[in-house]
Amino acid sequence: MKAPSFTLVQLRYFAAAAELGSMTAAARELVVSQSAVSTAVAQLEKELGVQLLLRHHARGLALTPAGRAFYSELRGFLAHSQELADSATNAGRELVGTLTVGCFDTLAPFWLPHLVARYAEHHPAVSVEALEAQHAALKQGLQSGRCEVALMYAYELDEDFETTRVGSAPPYLLLPPGHRFAHRTQVHLAELAEDPVVMLELPDTSTYFHSLFKEVGVEPRVRHRTAGYETVRSMVAAGHGYAVLNQRPAHSHTYGGGSLVTVTLADNFPALDVVAVRMKQARLTRKAEAFVQICRDVGVLLTDGANLAEAEGV
Per-residue pLDDT tens digits for 32-60: 888 888 888 888 888 888 888 888 766 67
DSSP 6-61: --HHHHHHHHHHHHHT-HHHHHHHHTS-HHHHHHHHHHHHHHHTS--EEEETTTEE
Estimate to the nearest angstrom the gap between the alpha carbon of 264 and the chain centroid.
27
pLDDT range class, residue 25, cuts 50, 70, 90: confident
pTM equals 0.68
- Boundaries of every domain in the chain: 8-67, 94-162+276-312, 171-270
Report the CATH number of the 171-270 domain: 3.40.190.10
Domains 8-67 and 171-270 share a fold: no
Question: Mutual orientation of helices 8-20 and 65-89 as an angle, nearest 10°?
Answer: 130
Number of separate helices (H) and strands (E) present in the chain: 9, 13
pLDDT range class, residue 263, cuts 50, 70, 90: very high
CATH number for domain 8-67, candidates 1.10.10.10, 3.40.640.10, 1.20.1440.230, 3.40.1160.10: 1.10.10.10
Report the CATH number of the 94-162+276-312 domain: 3.40.190.10
102-118: average pLDDT: 93
Q: Which of 71-85, 131-145, 226-240 has the highest mean pLDDT?
A: 226-240
What is the identity of the amino acid at 286?
Answer: R
